[in-house]
């Protein structure tokens, strides 16, 4: 089955390549070529095509935050006084290293963030002294993650 959108057609070989790299981005190209049954050069060409289309958006090493002492993950809904405060609030949130994701949302909150902290005391400090002191933030609502149950990318 081919997946097609306005920019790219993905065939079965592309899917096999993507699945192998999604499982382990350090898998050697020649190993993937042997598994798929095509040359290493053909794998490189297909990867360039997928990168050019925007489907592959890079590769990165993933740091385990717990090893660095960040054991508390929290999601924070941020209420802003006015919608015009959004860009400035996001600019200020970028300066807080514990904030690892930030989303504009529909619903109750103007902004929804994901953050890491070393413990609850650290979380409280970041919330009270850094996030809630941002101009335009009227209040926050915090949800502490007890344990992540699913961590995956979209299925190819």
Q: Are 123 and 144 in contact (CB under 8 A)?
A: yes
- What is the per-residue pLDDT across 105-125, written as a single tens digit (0 to 9) for each? 999 899 999 999 999 999 999
Give CA–CA dist 112/122, Å, rounded.
Answer: 19
Instruction: Give the number of other CB atoms < 10 A from CB of residue 7.
Output: 9
- pLDDT for 63: 93
pLDDT range class, residue 3, cuts 50, 70, 90: low
Looking up tokens 């919330």 gives 127
Helix, strand, coil content of the chain in percent (nearest 5): 40, 20, 40
CA dist 96 → 47, 90, 106, 129, 131 (Å)? 35, 10, 23, 11, 8
- What is the per-residue pLDDT across 12-65, written as a single tens digit (0 to 9) for each? 999 999 999 999 999 999 999 999 999 999 999 999 999 999 999 888 888 999
Give CA–CA dist 70/95, Å, rounded.
Answer: 18
pLDDT range class, residue 4, cuts 50, 70, 90: low
pLDDT range class, residue 2, cuts 50, 70, 90: low
CA dist 52 → 44, 57, 58, 59, 109 (Å)? 12, 9, 11, 14, 36
- pLDDT for 60: 86
pLDDT range class, residue 129, cuts 50, 70, 90: very high
Give CA–CA dist 89/153, Å, rounded.
Answer: 28
Residue 5 pLDDT exceeds 80 = no
- What is the per-residue pLDDT across 63-85, written as a single tens digit (0 to 9) for each? 999 999 999 999 999 999 887 77
């Amino acid at each position: 089955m081919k997946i097609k959108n306005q920019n790219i057609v993905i065939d079965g070989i592309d899917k096999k390549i993507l699945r192998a790299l999604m499982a382990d981005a350090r898998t050697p190209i020649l190993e993937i070529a042997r598994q798929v049954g095509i040359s290493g050069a053909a794998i490189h060409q297909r990867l360039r095509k997928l990168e050019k289309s925007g489907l592959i958006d890079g590769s990165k090493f993933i740091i385990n935050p717990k090893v660095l002492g960040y054991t508390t993950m929290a999601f924070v809904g941020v209420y802003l006084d006015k919608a015009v405060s959004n860009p400035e609030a996001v600019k200020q949130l970028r300066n807080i290293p514990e904030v690892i994701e930030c989303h504009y949302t529909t619903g109750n909150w103007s902004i929804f963030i994901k953050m890491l902290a070393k413990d609850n005391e650290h979380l409280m400090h970041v919330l009270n002294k850094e996030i809630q002191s941002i101009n335009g933030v009227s209040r926050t609502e915090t949800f502490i993650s007890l344990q992540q149950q699913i961590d995956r990318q979209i299925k190819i």
